Structure 1
């Protein structure tokens, strides 16, 4: 009659009639439910529910001191036990009462006297639903744990601050940076490394998809960059093209990545970069803010995509601002987004008054977090990099 194994389930019976308690207990034993708890009144029933956290509560409406409907409302108002299904058992044959109980949160309703078959059917439905929900909750917690682990691993890919400080000291430049992962599992990361005794490379990437696939692709790209460093003649466009060919073969169809790779040449005082669909960086020089070029489609879309090198002077007093489009697309409290022009206006406000690039950077960060609706509303990971000389 009942094929499902409910032997691991526990049931709380809130019933003041001893004969009814005994009968319900025997019925439950017939389907291998031996973990049965009993309460004779509502107050004790609520306390016992909090203690044993049963898989099902069988509640009689006609209880002393506190009526069954009051007990039901208290159960549903108590966060720890409100999700436990409650089966109402009563001798009241009233549609109005049924409607009232279901509205109050009851999962089922059975009228005494009830047959063994009807009782088993009600128990089976409610416990199967409860077990399914518990299984889904367990799987959800497992997924959440895996996502948290993946997010932590994503931050491990970011440059070590000691390494950054070493490069800054050796080459005489400043680098302000911020990386903030969104609630979604994305695939963004950035990096900076020495190329030669006169050159430093910096890059940033943003995968278009989310979830575990994005996390896996992040590690693939990170490994690819580490194992295939840029070589002479140090053309960013050639390097981006080589990455594109590998990723086009490596990544599943439909997966692509926005990418920017630039080289700071301290001998020629230039910044040369190639972009694969990444949002245009900004050049801050002589209190002017210029949107730089942006060419090429994201990586992995086409096998033989060609990319362009852009080169700008990187003299003393110059800053390059590289950022993910999350900065200009996140919803603000006022209902709008910052946009590229809004970002340039905000930068201008501080560049004209403040000499230190890190102070300008910190002010931009503060304005952003003051104005966005919520960190939870970030549509994607946020990356902000300001390289200054």
Structure 2
């Protein structure tokens, strides 16, 4: 602890009270400048500070300490004979933790010192916990990024099928449990899935990582969306704990047939936009959640996906964030936003317009991680022109 007082008798008296109570590491500072030097050299656990001192008074010492982020949580107990309410308020406004009235009462001094030392220890423990948690969340997000399709994969898909793929992830303060991926298939086709775990946090993220492995083990079934979901569900039933579920969509893009053939498991409805047409098409979304029950059956659906088409998949957090009032559903509002934004001729511009529309509607800090995947079909060039 550091006792700051320009009067030697006061420093000695306060130190004696503290030592009698069992405190041993006590330093002195004779004025405000001396206090700031000593605090900068070695951070104390608590400062007992006199207000009325020559040169640099206690008010200014408090102000300078609180202006430095290193000392934001340092307990500062001000000892003062000031009875003026305005001066006492000023002390608190400048960052004083607590006041001790002169003449100092031993019992009051020790009670306030102990409670603020305990509070400081709690704050330090919380800061360490928060730092560890943020580090673990950062590692989890880095792992998530490594699981996503790469730019090289996007280039390969575009070269083979003429389909552009873009995505967007709006990160919240909570770790999400959604994952998406691309599975290359024969004949210029490719599979596309988006899985969205219920809940949030570490358990949801771990389940998403586990399901990523499962889905790639099932890649030989990716040409059959309904069977792909059936097998994924069978694996998830044995993998998830009670109450854990996932919404999912898996589909096959066939650029030659001009179709997106898909199956859904309690997911959000895919949105299709055709450039030059004013309305968006909402696809179907049915089927039991993945992991809910063994033997669930999933239906096959098809959307047209020819030249000029835009397809958007998204997780539940996108709809949850939309401010919907009246009879209009969140899906319908999202489709209306997409019908305008996805008209841009370049998919990058269409994605950016969609993100801007969402930010305007829900803000740039969502309550949960939001994931959106965009597909755009080019006008197909003759094979020899590539």
TM range (shorter): 0.7 to 0.9
What does 1:63-212 correspond to in 2, within 5 Å? 63-68=53-58, 71-72=61-62, 75-76=65-66, 79-90=69-80, 92=81, 100=89, 103-104=92-93, 105-107=96-98, 109=100, 111-112=102-103, 114-115=105-106, 119-212=109-202
Which residue of 294, 318, 321 maps to 2:312? Answer: 321
- Give the aligned CA root-mean-square deviation in angstroms: 3.3
Change in CA separation of 1:96 and 1:181 when aligned onto 2, cut-off 3 Å: closer
User: Is contact 1:324–1:384 with CA below 8 Å preserved after alignment?
Assistant: no
Q: Distance in 2 between matches of 1:372 and 1:45?
A: 51
Q: Distance in 2 between matches of 1:362 and 1:74?
A: 44
3-state DSSP class of the match of 2:227?
Answer: helix
What does 1:1-389 correspond to in 2, within 5 Å? 11-29=1-19, 33-68=23-58, 71-72=61-62, 75-76=65-66, 79-90=69-80, 92=81, 100=89, 103-104=92-93, 105-107=96-98, 109=100, 111-112=102-103, 114-115=105-106, 119-231=109-221, 234-266=223-255, 268-285=257-274, 287-288=276-277, 289-330=280-321, 339-349=330-340, 354-369=344-359, 371-372=360-361, 374-389=363-378
3-state DSSP class of the match of 1:273?
Answer: strand
Q: What displacement does 1:215 show?
A: 1.6
Paired residues in the alignment total 370
User: Is contact 1:15–1:21 with CA below 8 Å preserved after alignment?
Assistant: yes
**2:381 paired residue number:** none
Query: After superposition, what is the alpha-carbon deviation per residue over 1:137-169, rounded to whole angstroms, capped at 9, x for unaligned?
Result: 111111111111111111111011112211221
Query: After superposition, what is the alpha-carbon deviation per residue over 1:268-307, rounded to whole angstroms, capped at 9, x for unaligned?
Result: 4432101112211122347343111111232223333322
Change in CA separation of 1:196 and 1:185 when aligned onto 2, cut-off 3 Å: same
Q: What TM-score, normalized by structure 1, do the two folds share?
A: 0.81
**2:383 paired residue number:** none
Change in CA separation of 1:98 and 1:156 when aligned onto 2, cut-off 3 Å: same
- Give ranges in structure 2 of 5+ residues lacking alignment: 379-386
Change in CA separation of 1:360 and 1:70 when aligned onto 2, cut-off 3 Å: closer
Q: Distance in 2 between matches of 1:317 and 1:98?
A: 71
Q: What TM-score, normalized by structure 2, do the two folds share?
A: 0.82
Question: Relative to structure 2, which stretch is displaced further, 291-300 or 78-87?
Answer: 78-87
User: Is contact 1:283–1:291 with CA below 8 Å preserved after alignment?
Assistant: yes
User: Is contact 1:42–1:66 with CA below 8 Å preserved after alignment?
Assistant: yes
- Give ranges in structure 1 of 5+ residues lacking alignment: 1-10
Q: Distance in 2 between matches of 1:261 and 1:184?
A: 25
User: Is contact 1:98–1:109 with CA below 8 Å preserved after alignment?
Assistant: no
Q: Distance in 2 between matches of 1:283 and 1:106?
A: 58
Query: After superposition, what is the alpha-carbon deviation per residue over 1:207-249, rounded to whole angstroms, capped at 9, x for unaligned?
Result: 22111112211211111112222428x4212221221222122
Q: What displacement does 1:37 show?
A: 3.0
Query: After superposition, what is the alpha-carbon deviation per residue over 1:356-376, rounded to whole angstroms, capped at 9, x for unaligned?
Result: 44443333234334x145422
User: Is contact 2:171–2:368 with CA below 8 Å preserved after alignment?
Assistant: no
